Amino acid sequence: MGVTKVLRDAREALNDAGLRGSFLVRDLDTGDELGIDAEVEFPIASLVKVPLAVATLERVVRGELDAATPIVVQPGRATVPGPTGLSRFRHPATVALDDLLYLSTAISDGAAADALFDLTPPAAVTAELRRLGYDGIAVRHLMRDLTDTPAERFAPAEAHLAHSLAIAAATAGHGHPVPQLDISRANAGFARAFVDLLQGLWRPTTIHTSVAARVRELMGDNVLRQRLAPDFSSDASRWSSKTGTLLNLRHEVGVVEHADGQVLAVAALTESRVPAVVQPGAEALMAHVARTLRDQLRMY
């Protein structure tokens, strides 16, 4: 099957399923890549926890922070479905900085991430990315801002209404009255920017080697494996990743390391036009599209 047909079929499948997506798969050693709208910008939700981990660990390497520092984290007291870890605690907890990195990255704990943002604010994370040479990801707000959306204003049985609002209110230029969905105000990025960052973590140049190794480890420990993992994990491959979810947005970025030595970075950022909270078909399709691009690259 030719590349043109592969891309055309993938676009049609996404459109038929009510999805808009930004995809990119790259061989980290040859530089060969295949993508769909890889420069289209999206709000990135919890994907921001990867650059947060990089910025925090770079400061640890420079001696500005100590990974063993105990930090008191106030309970998140989350009551809506979704948040994990400290976000659901009812009492204060004392956690070492390095363990907050694990909770933030591997478990996608928003309260742990915000404790790290207290040490390295969003603007400082963006500045650290720029220092390291990564320009396509903007970090602007805390994770707790993601729990102040229309979804929190509806009862669980009416959550689909929040998705309807998120879908209908978007502008042609990707603006949005919900600030977390407006690319000019939200934490934002695109598939190519995340693949570039993954390349820097698996093939370090500007990122410190110990920082890259720790972030790779944290992404390898990711417990959220319902999205791309079923199509990329096997006895002959290792899948390390981070997911991001907010209203009608479903993302995942990661790296698949094959037993034959080939290493591929994958970014899949999607937006659904279907007003439903649970969309296993969307999860499966985005994984199928990403795998199809991967399979096409592995043919060469």
Angle between helix axes 49-61 and 122-132 (nearest 10 degrees) is: 70
Q: Token match 């500005």: residue?
A: 64
Residue 98's pLDDT is 98
Cα distance between residue 69 and residue 63, in whole Å = 12
Over residues 154-198, the pLDDT tens digits come to 445 444 444 455 444 454 455 555 666 677 788 999 999 999 999
pLDDT in the model for residue 180: 67
Residue 152: its pLDDT value, please?
47
Q: What pLDDT is stored for residue 236 in this prediction?
A: 93
Query: What is residue 177's predicted lDDT score, i.e. its pLDDT?
Result: 54
Amino acid, res. 263: V
Determine the pLDDT at residue 97.
Answer: 98
Q: Position of tokens 């984290």?
A: 73
Alpha-carbon separation of residue 169 from 118, 182, 260 (angstroms): 32, 10, 47
Q: What is the 3-state secondary structure (H, E, C) of the chain?
A: CCHHHHHHHHHHHHHHCCEEEEEEEEECCCCCEEEECCCCCEECHHHHHHHHHHHHHHHHHCCCCCCCCEEEECCCCCCCCCCCHHHHCCCCEEEEHHHHHHHHHHCCCHHHHHHHHHHCCHHHHHHHHHHHCCCCCECCCCHHHHHCCHHHHCCHHHHHHHHHHHHHCCCCCCCCCCHHHCCCCCCEECHHHHHHHHHHHHCCCCCCHHHHHHHHHHHHCCCCCCCCHHHHCECCEEEEEEEEEECCEEEEEEEEEECCCCEEEEEEEEEECCCCCCCHHHHHHHHHHHHHHHHHHHCC
pLDDT reported for residue 144: 83
Residue 281, pLDDT score: 84
pLDDT at 275: 66
Residue among 263, 295, 298 nearest 9 (CA): 295
Residues in the chain predicted with pLDDT less than 50, given as ranges, are 151-155, 157-163, 166-169, 171-172
Q: In this predicted structure, what is the pLDDT of residue 185?
A: 80
Full-model pTM:
0.88
